[in-house]
A and B are shown apart, each in its own frame.
Chain A
Amino acid sequence: DAKTTQPNSMESNEEEPVHLPCNHSTISGTDYIHWYRQLPSQGPEYVIHGLTSNVNNRMASLAIAEDRKSSTLILHRATLRDAAVYYCILRGNYGGATNKLIFGTGTLLAVQP
């Protein structure tokens, strides 16, 4: 299974942008880059995903490097509610096309008021 590398933790100030990096040097051509986040005592929540082009939605933006070996999740204005563990995951066709999500330990984002 393709692996991702993320910093263990990051800090941000409220209302400032946050850039969460992810390295995935072994990504294959058919892997989608997914981001999920998990607030305390809750299940993971989908944030955004992409294949090659940068993506925007109401929650965040995803910037994907040209060689696809890294990506950055961008929260444009962090709020206290964005404090969570953020997981960068490659979702592809593994082992019979289960498309399962393989989680690492993610990045714990702390947001200071």
Chain B
Amino acid sequence: DTGVSQNPRHKITKRGQNVTFRCDPISEHNRLYWYRQTLGQGPEFLTYFQNEAQLEKSRLLSDRFSAERPKGSFSTLEIQRTEQGDSAMYLCASSTPGPNTEAFFGQGTRLTVV
């Protein structure tokens, strides 16, 4: 297993277009998290999956954002009608259950909306 993989690494899109990012977690991890990070800030929690169930969504996740994790494996994060304020690094992390475990992060997808 090579860790958490995110694709694409970089995405430039025009305002108003839809974009989709993919995250492949570590295979035995049933927990998957999405975060967003803007320059100079720490990552902000967006949403969480346990297996295929999306169990928590942050208020940051507007109705233009949707995330899925079909079959409890990879996950996708879609942003519809992108805005310039969506420009950020989108990070995915996975872990096994419990607070006594480490989370593994991917390298992130850098989104630039022009």
Query: Which residues of A pack against B, CB within 8 Å?
Result: 30-32, 34, 36, 42-46, 49, 51, 85, 87, 91-93, 95-106
Residue on B with the closest CB to A30?
Answer: B99
Residues of B within 8 A of A99 (CB): 31, 95, 97-99, 101
Q: Which of A30, A46, A93, A100 contacts B104 (CB 8 A)?
A: A46
Residues of A within 8 A of B45 (CB): 100-102
Q: Is the CB of A91 within 8 A of B99?
A: yes
Q: Is the CB of A45 within 8 A of B105?
A: yes
Q: Is the CB of B42 within 8 A of A103?
A: yes
Within 8 A of A (CB), among B75-114: 91, 93, 95, 97-108
Closest 7 pairs (CB-CB, A-B): A103-B42, A43-B105, A46-B102, A91-B99, A32-B99, A98-B48, A44-B105
Chain B nearest CB: distance from A62 CB in Å?
13
Main secondary structure of the interface of A (DSSP, over half): loop
Chain A nearest CB: distance from B39 CB in Å?
11
The interface bits of chain B over 39-50 (1 if a CB of A lies within 8 angstroms of the residue's CB, else 0) are 011111100101
Q: Is the CB of B55 within 8 A of A104?
A: no
Return 22 A-B CB contacts under 8 Å, by A number: A30-B99, A32-B99, A32-B100, A42-B108, A43-B105, A43-B108, A44-B105, A46-B103, A46-B104, A51-B100, A96-B56, A98-B56, A99-B99, A99-B101, A100-B33, A100-B45, A101-B43, A102-B45, A103-B44, A105-B40, A105-B42, A106-B42
